[in-house]
Amino acid sequence: MTTTINASTSSGLVVTPDNSGNVLLQYNGQSAPTFFAYKSTNQNATAGTDTKVTFDTEVFDTNNNFASNRFTPTVAGYYQLNSNVFYTNATTGYAFLSFFKNGADFVRGPQMQLTTAAYNAQNISNIIYLNGTTDYVEVYTQSGSTSTIYGDPGPTYLTNFSGCLLRGA
């Protein structure tokens, strides 16, 4: 099967198949960053405090832009970012999930009411502009009660952080 993709050369989009038929997407000659990382071990979250969620395992990181629990892309543009966090050992109370940009709360998801159920799940998703040089994004949570951020060694990767370039600047 053959698929033809037409793109103006002035748009900056380059589609390059390799010898195996795989397609590499680039923006202005640079690989379009995309990543998926997850938490494989549990982490404690202190009540009433913003806690950075740590992600200790990468499934993929196409441009080596994810390190030390943060995404720092080297291509300026608009990024679709997503995170899911599972809590366990929670008592009742609230929880928020946030994207911190450059160390400050940037986008906060809706408040979730924690229960004493085995697991409580929360997610956040947003499009964020990153300048490709100094901007970075991290995931934080804040809960009204002490809880455990659940780490899953796989294959479901319940607590995760992912993103990809949607459009260059």
Question: What whole-number distance in Å separates Cα of residue 21 and Cα of residue 13?
Answer: 18
Which pLDDT does position 21 carry in this prediction? 66
Q: Is it the case that residue 101 has pLDDT exceeding 60?
A: yes
Structural domain of 69? 33-168
Average pLDDT over residues 156-162: 94
Summarised one tens digit per residue, pLDDT across range 17-74 is 667 666 655 666 667 899 999 999 999 988 889 999 999 999 999 999 999 999 999 9
Examine residue 91 and state whether it is found in any structural domain, yes or no.
yes
The pTM of the whole model exceeds 0.85: no
Given CA atoms 65, 126, 58, 167 in this order, what sign does their dihedral have? negative
- CATH code (residue 151): 2.60.120.40
Average pLDDT over residues 86-100: 85
Average pLDDT over residues 74-87: 95
Residue appearing with tokens 């010898």: 19
Examine residue 45 and state whether it is found in any structural domain, yes or no.
yes
Residue 23 burial (CB count, 10 A): 10
Using an 8 Å Cβ cutoff, are 50 and 140 in contact? yes
Residue appearing with tokens 């832009």: 65
Using an 8 Å Cβ cutoff, are 124 and 107 in contact? yes
Tell me how many domains the chain contains: 1
